[in-house]
Amino acid sequence: MNTSLLYNNMKPFPKNGNSIGVDKLVFDLPYSISLDNKLKLTNKILNVSDDTGTVNYSTGKLANNNNIEVRVYKNYIRFTLNPVMEIYGSNFYTLRKEELRNYLLELQEKSEINLFNGAIRRLDLQTTARMSHNPASYFEVLGKHKHLMKSTPFKDTLYYNSISKYKTLLFYNKSKKERKNKPIKFKDGEYLRYEAQYHNKFLKEIAKKLGKKTLTLQDLFDDKIYNKLIQYWYNDYKEIYKEQKTMFIPNNINKPSDIDKLLASEGIKSIGNVEETCKMIDAALADTNKNASFISKVKSRVKSIADNEKAIMETPFLEELESKITQAFKNTTNSFIKP
């Protein structure tokens, strides 16, 4: 059976599943008194230096949108937002590019601020896939990354971090992460999220390669640039060394004692083969008083165990994970629209 085809044809979950979208987004605009006045921040809090007593920055919420955090520094103003939370009330979903653009256009109109010139300082790209097994099962096949440091899974999350604040990759159980804010449509099923968090230093490198000083919000709607970002997301996944794992064939274990034969069968294979195992039996019993009939019966048991059906098989986790990540990449790169 073509299992990759089976995985790709699983019933899709709603709201743009099996694709890649923007999650958290942080961008800066140059400071001006005019812009500061337009913000009309609520719940404003000052961050003051303990040493000098000077204000490092102020933080607050937009007057017309309490979900967007704004920090006002001396030379720039930083906006932190999660568009999918705004649109769907839960970031369990995945935003299409046109949804993001429409959201930003509406926000720009309401705030009367030219947002599309904003310089991106952090960009999170993710896909959420419905899986056949518990998401933690897939961590077992993910090995070291070519450039990043792999962490020990913590609270249902596997991290790959850079030494400096450069980029972070995460794999985690989305259902557990959003237990209190899980939409009813996602009540059933196992959901794994793969997310890449790209920070300012990395984004500047991408901009330089594209002949730009910095990436702006407008660049997210340039197919060439967006395609490049999605390609980085996919390449970061591909640069993780994958480790195919094995398991006992489930149909061979119908009662507790069945595991004995399976373990014995694998033990014979680890020695080499039946012939090598029988030689070890001959050596072990050579100086005993066991007769030829007894030794023959022992060897017969070895042959009987070795003749059993194949005891182990490859786990399905790697093939399914590869299939889902690759399909999300293809679905996204094949569906670009013109802004």
265-277 pLDDT tens trace: 667 777 777 778 7
Do 181 and 284 reside in the same domain of the chain? Answer: no
Residues 6+ apart with CB under 8 A from 49: 55, 56
**Residue among 48, 186, 29, 180 at smallest CA distance from 114:** 29
Do 325 and 270 reside in the same domain of the chain? Answer: no
Rg of the Cα atoms in the chain: 28
Do 15 and 93 reside in the same domain of the chain? Answer: yes
Residues 6+ apart with CB under 8 A from 93: 14, 15, 16, 84, 87, 128, 183
Amino acid sitting at position 181:
N
Average pLDDT over residues 189-195: 91
Structure tokens at 305: 């165990």
Would you place residue 336 in the very low, low, confident or very high pLDDT band (cuts 50, 70, 90)? low
Query: With contact defined as beta carbons under 8 Å apart, do 81 and 70 qualify?
Result: no
User: Please, what is the average pLDDT of the chain?
Assistant: 83
Alpha-carbon distance 83 to 89, whole Å?
A: 9
**Residue among 325, 297, 290, 309 at smallest CA distance from 128:** 325
Alpha-carbon distance 299 to 51, whole Å?
A: 82
| 11 pLDDT above the threshold of 50 | no
Do 231 and 250 reside in the same domain of the chain? Answer: no
| 14 pLDDT above the threshold of 80 | no
Alpha-carbon distance 338 to 138, whole Å?
A: 36
Residue 76 in any domain: the answer is: yes
Beta bridge partners of 170: 159, 195
Do 195 and 302 reside in the same domain of the chain? Answer: no
Residue 339 in any domain: the answer is: no
Do 20 and 136 reside in the same domain of the chain? Answer: yes
Do 208 and 252 reside in the same domain of the chain? Answer: no
Alpha-carbon distance 33 to 282, whole Å?
A: 92
Would you place residue 295 in the very low, low, confident or very high pLDDT band (cuts 50, 70, 90)? confident
**Residue among 30, 23, 38, 116 at smallest CA distance from 78:** 30
Question: Percent of the chain, pLDDT > 90?
Answer: 43
Alpha-carbon distance 324 to 171, whole Å?
A: 13
Q: What is the pLDDT of residue 175?
A: 82
Residue 321 in any domain: the answer is: yes
Average pLDDT over residues 50-68: 84
Do 168 and 273 reside in the same domain of the chain? Answer: no
Residue 200 in any domain: the answer is: yes
| 4 pLDDT above the threshold of 60 | no
Of residues 158 and 12, the one with the higher pLDDT is: 158
Residue 174 in any domain: the answer is: yes
Domain housing 260: 246-314
Do 289 and 210 reside in the same domain of the chain? Answer: no
Task: Classify residue 333 by burial, with Cβ atoms within 10 Å: 0-12, 13-18, 19+.
Answer: middle
Do 217 and 286 reside in the same domain of the chain? Answer: no
Residue 338 in any domain: the answer is: no
Of residues 232 and 252, the one with the higher pLDDT is: 232
Residue 233 in any domain: the answer is: yes
Average pLDDT over residues 300-324: 77
Entry field: residues in the chain: 339
Residue 94 in any domain: the answer is: yes
Average pLDDT over residues 170-189: 77
| 6 pLDDT above the threshold of 80 | no
Do 25 and 100 reside in the same domain of the chain? Answer: yes
Q: How many domains does the chain fold into?
A: 2
Do 220 and 233 reside in the same domain of the chain? Answer: yes
| Number of neighbouring beta carbons within 10 Å of residue 309 | 10
Alpha-carbon distance 246 to 57, whole Å?
A: 54
